[in-house]
Structure 1
Amino acid sequence: MTTTRETPVRLTQFAHGGGCACKIPPGELEDVLGGLARPGASPADTSLLVGLATGDDAAVVTLPAPDGAPGQAVVSTADFFTPVVDDAYDWGRIAAANALSDVYAMGGRPLVAVNLLAWPRDVLPLDLAREVLRGGLDVATEAGCHVGGGHSVDDPEPKYGMAVTGVADPERLLRNDTGRPGLPLSLTKPLGLGVLNNRHKATGERFEQAVATMVALNRDASAAALDAGATCATDVTGFGLLGHLHKLARASGVTAVVDTAAVPYLDGAREAVRDGYVSGGTRRNLDWVAPFTDFGDADADTRLLLADAQTSGGLLVAGEVPGAPVIGELVPKGAHSVVLG
C-alpha cells in the first residue's frame, strides 16, 4: 500500500544517498581495513572476543569476573546514516532501530546509547532535529535502552544514528563465523527496503509497510534465535542479503545455498526494481558479490533485490527461527560462497 503525504521539508532531498545505501562500498571498505590490528595486541589477550577479523556486526569484549563467577561480555557498536525517509520522527525511529540491531545481531541486550547527530543548522530547522532525536528516544525506550546524551556537529548533510553499548553471555553469542554445514538459513524480515526507500526519495510516495518493517526491533528475533540454540547470525543492512551472506559464509568456511523462491519481499519491491528505483549502493553490492556467487538461473531483477541495500533489515540466522521463513542452508565449502537455486 502506498500513500502520498505532504511534508514541509523533504529530508531525503538533502542527502546524496539514503539510509544504509550511503555506506562506503564493501570492497573499498575491506581494502581500507585490511591489515589493521590493535596496537600492542597479544595472542595471550583473549578479552576481545569479536573484533575486525570477520567483519561482524559489533565488537565484543569480556569483562573480568571474580573466580567462579559467570562471565559477562560487553557489546559495542555505532551506526548512523543520511535520511532514508522525509518524516523526521520516522527517520529517528528507523536509525535507532538500525543501531540497536547490531547488538541484537550478536545475541546481546542494549543498555545505553548516545546520539550521533550531524545537522545543517543554517538550512534545516532545529525543530526537525528535535523530532529526529525524539524518534530515536522512543525506539530506545521501547528497547529498554537508556539514551545518555550524545554528540552533534554542524554539517552540510544531515546524519543521525547512535553508538550503543550492550551486554551478552559470552557463551551464547551470535557470530558470523560459527556457521556449519547442514544448518538452515532463516530470514526474519522481508527484503525490498532499499528500492522502496529509493522510490520514496524520488517521488515522495510513502510506503507504510517499509516504515513499519524498519522501525521494528530485532529483539524478539534475537531472543528466538538464542532460544533455538543458534550461534551464527548477522543482520541484513547496507551490503544486502548477498553481501552479508557472503561475509557469513566466508567467515564460517562454508557455502550458502539460497532457495530464491523462498525469499520474502515487501509489497511493491519488485515493481520498484522494474521501474528503475535501484540505488547505486545496491548495484555496487551486486558487483562486489558477483565473483563469489553462482547466480544460477536468477534473473536480473532478482539479483538486484537480493543485493538490495537494506536499512534496519532483519536477522539472517543459521538455524530455524519460529515464524521466520527458511530461505536456504549452509553446505560444505565449494567454489562459491553463495549459490542461488
Structure 2
Amino acid sequence: MEVITLDGSLGEGGGQILRTALSFSMLTKKPFRIVNIRKNRTEPGLKAQHLAAVDFLVKNSSSKAIGAEIGSSELSFFPGEWKGILRNSDIGTAGSITLFLQSVLLPLMFSKKCSFSVTGGTDVAWSVPASTFSEAVLPFFRKYAKIDFRLIKRGYYPKGGGVVELSILPKILLSDFSSFEEFLEEARKLGRIKLSERGLLVAIRGESHASADLQGKKVAERQASAAALELKDAGCHVEISSSYSPSESTGSGISVYALYSQPGSSEFDVNQPIILASDVLGERGKPAERVGFQASQKLISELSSGCACDSLLADQLIPLLALFGGEIRAERISEHLKSNVAVAEAFLGKHFEIDEKEGIVRAL
C-alpha cells in the first residue's frame, strides 16, 4: 500500500498535523510518513504528549511506528487492528489530555465498546481545557457514538497528574463493512454537521475551577462572579458553577458556553447542538477577577460575530466534517483548521470548500 507523505511544517506547523494524521490513519488503515514535525515551534520535533498518543495506538493495536522518539522530526506509522481491553495512558508530564484525545477518540468511536483513562494535563496552555472539551466539543461527537467523559482529577502545569476516564459505545462499527467506503456510506446516514446559522440564545453556562490550595482565597468564586457580571445583559439565564479539587500543581481556570437553539426553534437541541465557548486559565500574578472578565469578553465577542461556530471549535470539527459532510461558519478560519483540512484530504481525497471571507467551511 502506498504510504502517504505529510509535511509537518504545513500551515501552523505544530503537532495538529500529526494528531489528525494518526486519527485518520487508524480509521482508513492507510500508513503515513510525516517529516518536519513541529518545525515551526521553538522546540521542534516530537514531545511527550505526541509520543503518548503513538504509544497508546501501538500498545493497543497491531500498529507499528518508526521514529517515535523525543525530538524526532520524522515518523512513519503503519496502522493495525485494535486489540482487546485497552491499556491506560500516562503522558508523564502536564501534556494535554484533550490534545492526546484528538489522535485516538475518532477511530475508537467506530471500533468497539471500550473504556480507558488518561493521565496528564487537563487545564494547560495551548489546548482545550477539560471542561470546554466535555461541554462544548464532545456534544458534537456524541451524535455519532455514545461517549462518557469523566474528569476524575484536574492537572495543572507544571506537574500535570490530572486524570480523565472515557467510555465509548459505537453506534456503527467499521469492522462490519468490507471497505472504508462502504462504512462511510452507511455512517453518513447518522447525519451531517450543520453550523451555518444559529437560532435564539437559550442559556449561558460555565464552570470556574481552582486547585484546593486556592480555596481560602475564593479564587473559583471570584472568577465566576466576574464573568457572570459581564454576561448579565446577554438576555438569558447565566449559571456558572465553582469547584475546587486536589491537584499536584497550583492552578485555576474558567470555561463558559453559550447554548443556542436551531433556527426556527426556541429550545436547545442536544441532538443538533449549537454551542459557542470561551475559556481562560489563571496565571500567577493575574487577579481572579481578570481571569473571569477575559473569559466573558471572549465569549461576548463570539456572540457578536453572528456565527454558529466559534473559531476554536471549528478546528475540532474538521474530522467530523470530513467523514459526515456539512457546513460550519466561524468568525475566522485559523491555520489549525487549514492544517486539519489538508491532512483529511490527504487521506480521503478532495472534500472541502473554504470561503475565508465569509468564514464558511463546506464538506462534500
The TM-score with structure 1 as length reference comes to 0.32
The TM-score with structure 2 as length reference comes to 0.30
